[in-house]
Chain A
Amino acid sequence: MADVRVVNVSKKFGKIVALDNVSLHIHEKEYFSLLGPSGCGKTTLLRLIAGLIQPDKGEIYIGERLVNNVPPEDRDIGFVFQTFALFPHMNVWDNVIYGPRVKGFDMKKAGTIGHEVLEMVKLHERSDAFPNELSGGMMQRTAVARALAAGAKLLLLDEPLGQLDAKVRNELRYDIRRMVKDLELTAIHVTHDQAEAMSISDRIAVIKKGKVQQVGTPEELYMNPQSVFVANFIGESNFLEGYVSTMIGKETSIELRGGTKVHATDGDLKRGERVVLAIRPETFTIEKEAKRGENVILGSVERVVFEGTNIRYEVRLENQDSILIVKPSLMGKWFNIGEKVTVSFQREKAHVFLYPETGLKEEIAVE
């Protein structure tokens, strides 16, 4: 069994709280990502699971075993470092068979494993090369091969693609996922890149300032964010501030700044409460014709950015709020700067959150 349970774990570095009472359950054979901005505590959590640092409080289980006092070498893990950490005085081959050797495998068995994993990462022809003779992608593939060769059932990846070019990064992330699935491993992957996490993970934990904000599949996080932070961090969101004017059952009527009224279905709210509406840029409809109806707001186009696949419009609403709308560039008509438009959204596409106590800006800040 290589599931991982983190139970009420806290960790401080001096006065800085890196992790605050975190609990998670990562299932066996799951590809799980820890996602969050820099300094949120995701790497700390991974290093705690690896045993490279010790928790101040709480328990960590790998399988059925409580591993708090188990040194890293006995946790049966493979760890892939952001900086590769390939041993500079050993060639690719010696790096790869290092794990089997220190675990006492005979040279024949170590050799068989070495050939297998190098075949898997397509580096067989470079086995004599030293790390400084390899490209970034090759170095990381060697690092993955080395971690796999140690025979662990749990693979921990600390921003494994952070130092690579965009194109290599995109290729390698699917390769890693494929290998993890082929070998039926459990993987925990730390990243600050939400696109990376969304594209390879079975589930994701979004972490902010040492606390888990939400755990879910990529779809769940995207479609149903549970906080302003997650709505902003996963994908993009427009935030419109207002007050709850009426509540009938689950139907909420919200008065935005400037008196514009909109409707949403979300939330367990009270009348008069200050709220924030989060709406994805791609869920807006943008039209030239003036029309009437629910959740229709007038505005004018302030900025147009052509991005190839998509086109982005910055629209100033009549209440002076500014929103972003993203539309496929090959579909429909394009709008020009200064053009008057009507924007609208479906009520079920709007997520309503209580206005954060610390302020909206502070709540969605990633630094």
Chain B
Amino acid sequence: MPKTKMLEALDRLSSKKAVKYGVYLIAVILFFALILLPPILGIIIKWNTMQQVLNQPALMSRALSAVQNSFIIALFVSALDVATGVPMAWLITRGKSKWLNVLDTVSDIPFIVPTAALGYSLLLFWSEPGGVSSLFGNSLISQGWLLVVLLHFTFSYPVVVRVIVGALLDYKKEYENASRTLGAPPFTASRTVTFPIIKPSLIAAFILAFSRSISETGATFIVAGAFENGPVFIQNMKKDYVGSTYEGSIVFASFILIAVALAIFLTIRALGPKLKLPVTKIWPTFERKLSYSKAASSRDSVTLLIFFAIVLIPSLFVALPALQAIFTDTLPKSLSGAGVWGEYWQSLLLSYFLGAVVTILNVIIGLPMAIIVARRKLGVLPSAVLDVLVNVPLVVPSIALGVSLAIFWKASFAFMPEMVVLIFAHLAITYPYFVRSMSAAVERISPDLEEAARTLGAKPLGVFRTIVLPLTKYSILSGAIMVFTRSVSETGATVAVVTSLRTAPVVIVDWVMKKVAATPLEIGLGCGFLIVFSFIILLALRLIVKGKGRY
């Protein structure tokens, strides 16, 4: 059948209610079957093994304190991220210098460095003799909680800045102008008008930073040393215990991580809108002092200092050994695939293959779900419930998700190849990112446009093909970029799921943790390749996206 004839047939088919709702139903079933239920069922299947932990008070208190550490760090880092990200976003959107475009682009860099490479970079910068520590004679910040805080701050900072920059760009500056004409100096105007209005975005930024921090495993493992948070605890259990004690401990830790993360997420969601931004009182004289040149330029200087000294330079510090390696025999050795490099290249290929498959799957099963959520296709209440449920994997720590997913698939479908389970695990982790960005994009399209197309004779699929798709092309691609980078970076869920397969970040973690004998130059070069390839792929995708689908 020629292509147009086939499209016409599909268009006609789509106007049948049974077909339309069939597609939506399949999307919902897939969401429950592949993403939401397996982790819950995984924990239920092994519920009894938790008894092992409850019988060992020392192990239980170790697990609880690790989980507690996870939440303390996540809450602290997210608050710090928002506190430091707001002035940075302000500088990017409101500053007048022509260099701000550069700053805007550069602020994304830590986002595209895979977290395992980022962890090693930070370790080199803060702890190892070659970094800033050499200025002080000994390790400035050794492995432990402080380095974990710095790491989590570094990788979640760009996400927070991006969200707040977006909110400030969308925000109608007229409100602030109104406030200024009524006599409020800039500080008062932003405190009493701008930030209360963009509060939902500040909360969203906080939740994103929080979920990133609670999930991160690979890089945390590199910099944690003897310190344990939830994911590191689960990792350590592998070497400390076997059999049912091992299972019990990881199920216990995963269950508490998931339960508390969900409780925090729901609390923020419920109380966030009611939260009044601090103090409604106004101190005209003091706030006036904070508004003008001296205070504003010191705020900008501190912001830039934090960004360069704590975020950017430590993130890119790994470039030094990578560059050094280029001038030694490490480079030819790496290219020939000798020694540790054979496994490295294989793992890199696996990472990108996995990223690509997961991205395609997300587009296929995520798009109908995004439309259901954005257009309330299944009725107001069911769609709103789905809207909340879609977010669940976002706030669940990825290693906990991986642990319960692995249990479920291996217990229920033992024949399932490890590769498929790995794909399902990455799909579960990345799904909310894609659905969220797509549903936001669909919501931005006025329903009038779709109705206009319908009145002109287009069938539902025709409306989707000719109106929704062209107008959301940019969001589909940017959602795909997000999914791809998240999958390539993911370590926690991967280590929880696989026994034989190894992705690139897992290999890097193994090298750094000395499970495989690799020299510092080799580790540096391994990280360097990972960053360069990720950068090239992102750049290529950005070039494809550039200027397309923006109306």
Interface positions of A (Cβ within 8 A of B)? 50-52, 71-75, 77-79, 81, 83, 85-89, 98-99, 101-104, 146-147, 150, 156
Contacts and interface: CB of A to CB of B under 8 A. Distances in A.
A87 B197 CA distance: 8
Contacts of A71: 180, 185-186
Interface in B171-197: 172, 174-175, 177-186, 188-189, 192-193, 196-197
A83 B174 contact: yes
Nearest to A76: B183
A71 B193 CA distance: 18
B285 interface: yes
Contact of B181 (A52, A86, A88, A104): A52
B443 to A, nearest CB: 18
B282 interface: yes
A253 B182 CA distance: 57
Contacts of B174: 81, 83, 85
A146 B184 CA distance: 13
B382 interface: no
Contact of B177 (A85, A101, A102): A85
Contacts of B184: 73, 98, 102
Contacts, number: 77
Given A85-B175, A102-B282, A72 B197 contact: no
A87 B181 contact: no
Determine which residue in B175, B197, B285 has the highest number of CB atoms from chain A within 10 A of its CB, and name it. B175
A99 B177 contact: no
A347 to B, nearest CB: 50
Contacts of B166: none
B339 interface: no
A159 to B, nearest CB: 13
A71 B182 CA distance: 11
B240 to A, nearest CB: 52
B177 A150 contact: no
A75 B285 CA distance: 17
B177 to A, nearest CB: 5
6 contacts: A71-B180, A73-B182, A98-B184, A102-B185, A146-B178, A156-B181
A102 B285 contact: no
Interface of B: 172, 174-175, 177-186, 188-189, 192-193, 196-197, 282, 284-285
Contacts of B180: 51-52, 71-73
Given A73-B185, A103-B284, A98 B197 contact: no
B337 to A, nearest CB: 54
Contacts of B178: 79, 81, 85-87, 146
A103 B284 CA distance: 6
Given A78-B182, A88-B197, 6 more contacts: A71-B186, A72-B181, A87-B178, A88-B175, A104-B282, A150-B182
A101 B185 CA distance: 12
A308 B543 CA distance: 61
Contacts of A79: 177-178, 181-182
A122 B549 CA distance: 48
A88 B285 CA distance: 26
A102 B181 contact: no
Nearest to B175: A85
A72 B180 CA distance: 6
B266 to A, nearest CB: 23
B172 A83 contact: yes
A81 B193 CA distance: 16
A50 B181 contact: yes
A316 B189 CA distance: 60
Contact of B183 (A87, A88, A99, A156): A99
Determine which residue in B174, B189, B282 has the highest number of CB atoms from chain A within 10 A of its CB, and name it. B174
Given A83-B172, A98-B182, A146-B182, A72 B177 contact: yes
Contacts of A50: 177, 181
B188 A102 contact: yes
Determine which residue in A75, A87, A89, A102 has the highest number of CB atoms from chain B within 10 A of its CB, and name it. A102
Given A81-B174, A83-B174, A88-B197, A99 B284 contact: no
Contacts of B177: 50, 52, 72, 79, 81, 85
Contacts of A81: 174, 177-178
B270 to A, nearest CB: 18
Determine which residue in B186, B284, B285 has the highest number of CB atoms from chain A within 10 A of its CB, and name it. B284
B428 to A, nearest CB: 37
Nearest to A53: B177
Contacts of B189: 73
Nearest to B196: A89
Given A102-B284, A103-B284, A150 B183 contact: yes
Given A83-B174, A85-B175, A87-B193, A104 B285 contact: yes
Nearest to B276: A89
A28 to B, nearest CB: 20
Contacts of B197: 87-89
Closest 9 CB pairs of A and B: A79-B181, A104-B284, A99-B182, A102-B184, A85-B178, A72-B180, A85-B174, A103-B183, A89-B196
Contacts of A146: 178, 182
Nearest to A100: B183
Contacts of B188: 102
Nearest to A107: B281
Contacts of A77: 181
Determine which residue in B172, B175, B183, B196 has the highest number of CB atoms from chain A within 10 A of its CB, and name it. B183
Contacts of A83: 172, 174
B278 to A, nearest CB: 14
A146 B189 CA distance: 15
Nearest to B174: A85
Nearest to B277: A89
A103 B192 CA distance: 13
A177 B196 CA distance: 34
B54 to A, nearest CB: 48
Nearest to B177: A52
B377 to A, nearest CB: 26
A81 B285 CA distance: 27
A98 B179 CA distance: 8
B279 to A, nearest CB: 12
A150 B180 CA distance: 11
Contacts of A156: 181
Contacts of B175: 85, 87-88
Contacts of A147: 181-182
B466 to A, nearest CB: 31
A103 B181 CA distance: 11
A50 B188 CA distance: 18
A98 B175 CA distance: 12
A101 B183 CA distance: 9
Nearest to A104: B284
A50 B178 CA distance: 10
A44 B268 CA distance: 43
Contacts of B179: 87, 98, 102
A72 B285 CA distance: 16
A83 B175 CA distance: 10
Contacts of A86: 178
